[in-house]
Structure 1
Amino acid sequence: MRNLSWCTVSLTAVAVTSVLVAYLLGGSLDPTARDPDIDLTTVELIAKYGYPAESHTVVSEDGYILTLHRIPFGKKSPGKTKRQPVFLQHGIVSSSVDWVIMGPEKSLGYVLADAGYDVWLGNSRGNVWSSKHVTLHPSSAEFWNFSWHEMGIYDLTAITDYILRRTGQEKLSFIGYSMGATMFFAMASEKPEYNKNFNVMIALTPAMYIKYCISPMPKMFAIAGKQLEWLSNLFGVYQILPHTSLFTFIGRHFCSDGAVTQPICMNILKLNMALNNKETNTSALPLILGHAPAGASIKTFQHFGQNINSGEFRKYDYGEEKNRIVYGSLIPPKYDVSKITVPVAIMYAQNDIVTDPRDVAKTKEALPNVIAYLKVKDEEFTHADFAWAINAKSLVYEDILRLLRKY
């Protein structure tokens, strides 16, 4: 069985049992529900809502072909004046669409563009928009031999260089969501010369320390990482949660308004994607599943699982024998976060099952230059809400705008 996961299996179970449930309850599966935004790419979505949209290609030092999406200005701030670039990096198994999927006034990409910023949206290697390499084929094990470490030291450095060169600016601002923040911290500690290129780094629910994570997918790798790695090599499966038509089908037919199975769908997504009943627009579930998940390497989840077990922010653990060759020690070294000199603002949520407040507090204490430490005022706010919450603008994005204006 290829590319299976907790979320895939759970949602497939919904599809298999939903017909029977609908029959017993006398309800409908709502097979005609269709949001046209489901079928649009990130650039097409941006253009549909009247914003300028661009697609750019960046090649990393180690050969990965990365796609960047850009909103150079907003509808409320048109013109050709030179604007401050802001780079947004999504979390694991996500893509650039996360920053625009909820539409104008509700998605951070549009909010920043309308506030006068030049908005750049990243796509991490291995996701649906960055799945090519100059020499390696995506079916090979070599292609998928990376985690967020390589995404940080190779992808973010190449993207930073590209944005500054393209815009002619000396610095940019960075917003990293979950793994996006992890990538930045790896880069800024391993490539400290890049610290000077950033005005400020805003870490949304940063996944640097994740000892107390209880989200099913990373926790599964913490518990059975070696066994899952063995199975991965046995079956030649190195990618996890690629986007397929199955997710789109399930979202459209079983999670839409009017479908009797929508509550089941919501509960499964709440468990796997850390959704919040109060802040989730259930009408948007088919749209979300039309674009997410977007794929990641198994090694990326394995790396997070290792850090859950160690309770530290460490490099990838290859096992004692290979660690001795790669690192010169039996255990992988910790990242030297004392080298991170960029001003860092941290935003976190009390109800987060991925980055527990205790882990975020450890992140705050470890970093040398934290200039803001903000808890979302809604006590029920959780991990996915930073991207998809109904009230994300008032609860999160307005604070981001204040920080950007200050730094």
Structure 2
Amino acid sequence: MASLIVVLLFGFLAGSQAAQSIEPRERNPDIDLTTPELIAKYGYPVESHMVTTEDGYILTLQRIPYGRNSTSRTNRPPVLIQHGLLSQSSDWVVMGPEKALGYILADAGYDVWLGNARGNTWSRKHTTLKPSSAKFWEFTWHEMGVYDLPAVIDYILEKTGEEKLFYVGHSEGTTMSYVMASERPEYNDKLRALISLAPVAHLSHTKTPFLKVIASAGDQIGWLTKMMGMNEFLPHSYLYNLMGYALCKDKAITQEICSNFIFLICGFDSKELDASMIPVIMGHDPAGVSTRTLLHYAQVIKSGKFRQYNHGLLKNLILYGSVVPPQYDLKKITAPVALMYGQNDFLADPEDVATLKEELPNVISYYKVKDDQFNHVDFMWATHAKTLLYDEVVSVMNKH
């Protein structure tokens, strides 16, 4: 966590100074484009949709209804792609046509919907609460699974007239789906298949330093963040655009620092990350998340259990009727599940994925990416993600 703060401070200073000398022609224009603007730029149709959850959060979806070389909306099964921690919908289009999963699925004949979880750049509205309110941020991936995904899935099925859809989740997007399918098991019948990229339920073997630091600090971190009013973690701002360009552009002496910082969190791999794309990525991510979401993951690490949020003894008794939170019953996940993992993933460690596989009753695919250096962010941004991973995703979907 300390190293993160140092990098951000350094980036602020360097970015602020460099911003004055940046020539417009030097900047990749994709840095400043929104998700719909990116999709339109590369010749794909795009729609934006708003969905209100049962507890009042207003979420934004982006839709690619068909591919670049087609205008037909018929016979196109819907697929919802859900981002991971600190991310947003642009993750699935930022690498461009023939490389990004959103475009690949649209070109493969699917009706693509890109989700945005509550609290990120695109989903910062509520029917009664404002992001400046601490109460707005009183959620974790539990609420995302119990409220966000059901609302989004029902909306997509209503709009498309379909009875089922495909779900592709990455990282936190997989966690949300396990919460939904176990806590609201009726939604299993609305899933053609649940495809998990870098699945995160168990975290006993995670190597991600900043989550392990939070876990070791325990309740003190939660108390401190609450006292300091730190309800939101890493919301996106123009500062990251400046940082990404000033520190991470080609020929910058600090470009290797950018790469190594990403690797420190997600697993080392210099081969699959195109360093010249880091400024574009940082033009969109990080996209913000509630501090409580990070604390929930830290609790999973500390307890060794995939269970609901620990509010403390008294509140646990009131909410759960027990001093400890209940575990999620993964046996209730009856939808077909494909688990796809990387050997070099610091967050979704292969041993934890193996544990998850044994707990799920209907695993249809257990796929290890055929590159032993494939890490957590490679699932989104790897140069050869199509041949290493996305072709397998399409293959699994075509069979179901």
Shorter-chain TM range is over 0.9
* 8 Å CA contact retained: 2:95, 2:381: yes
The residue number in structure 1 matching 2:233 is 240
- 1:9 maps to a residue whose letter is V
Matches within 5 A, 1:6-405: 6-14=3-11, 16=13, 31-32=22-23, 33-274=26-267, 276-405=269-398
Q: Distance in 1 between matches of 2:39 and 2:133?
A: 33
Contact 1:30 1:258 in 2 (8 A): no
Pair 400,30 (structure 1): closer, same or farther in 2 beyond 3 Å:
farther
Give the C-alpha shift of residue 7 in structure 1.
2.9
Report the TM-score, using the length of structure 1 for normalisation: 0.94
Cα separation, 2, equivalents of 1:48 and 1:139? 33
Residue 74 of structure 1 contacts residue 114 of structure 1 at CA under 8 Å; is this kept in 2?
yes
Offset of residue 310 of structure 1: 1.5
Q: Please state whether the residue corresponding to 2:323 is helix, strand or coil.
A: coil
RMSD: 1.9
Closer, same or farther in 2 for the Cα pair 1:71/1:184, shift >3 Å? Answer: same
Query: CA offsets per residue over residues 296-342 of structure 1, 9 Å max, x none?
Result: 00110000000011122111111112111111111111101111100
Letter in 2 for 1:256: K
SS at match of 1:194: helix
Aligned residues: 397
Query: Which stretch shows the higher mean deviation, 315-324 or 45-54?
Result: 315-324
Shift of 1:41: 0.5
Q: Displacement of 1:376 after TM fit?
A: 0.4
The C-alpha deviation readout for 1:10-34, integer Å capped at 9, x for no partner, is 23235547999x9xxxxxx984431
Equivalent pair of 1:30/1:253 in contact (CA under 8 Å) = no
Distance 2:347 2:231 in 1: 23
| Separation in structure 2 between the aligned mates of residue 208 and residue 173 of structure 1, nearest angstrom | 20
Structure 1 range deviating more: 172-181 or 226-235: 226-235
Is this contact kept in 1: 2:12–2:239, CA < 8 A? no
Q: How does the TM-score come out when normalised to structure 2?
A: 0.96
Shift of 1:202: 0.4
Residue 241 of structure 2 aligns to which amino acid in structure 1? Answer: T
**In 1, Cα distance between the equivalents of 2:15 and 2:137?**
35
**CA distance in structure 2 between the aligned counterparts of 1:54 and 1:274, rounded to whole angstroms:** 35
Separation (CA, whole Å) in 2 of partners of 1:229 and 1:179: 20
The verdict on how the C-alpha distance between 1:158 and 1:275 changes in structure 2, with shifts beyond 3 A counting, is: farther
Task: Report the secondary structure of 2:136's partner residue.
Answer: coil
Counterpart residue type for residue 388 of structure 1: W
Instruction: Provide the residue aligned with 1:25 in structure 2.
Output: none
Evaluate the alpha carbon distance shift between residue 73 and residue 5 of structure 1 in structure 2; reply closer, same or farther with a 3 A threshold: farther
Once residues 162 and 87 of structure 1 are traced to their aligned partners in structure 2, the CA distance between those partners, rounded to angstroms, is 11
Structure 1: 5+ residue stretches without partners: 23-28
Deviations 1:23-59 (A, max 9, x none): xxxxxx9844311011110000000000001100000
Q: Deviations over 1:147-173 (max 9, x none)?
A: 000000100000010000000001100
Deviation at residue 200 of structure 1 after TM alignment: 0.4
Structure 1 pair 30–342 and aligned structure 2 pair: CA distance change class (3 A): farther
Give the distance between the partners of 1:245 and 1:9, measured in 2 at CA.
18
Match of 1:142, SS state, is: helix
Mark the CA change 1:298 to 1:5 in structure 2 (over 3 Å): closer, same or farther: farther
For residues 392 and 208 of structure 1, what CA distance do their matches in structure 2 show?
A: 23
**In structure 2, distance between residues paired with 1:212 and 1:355:** 8
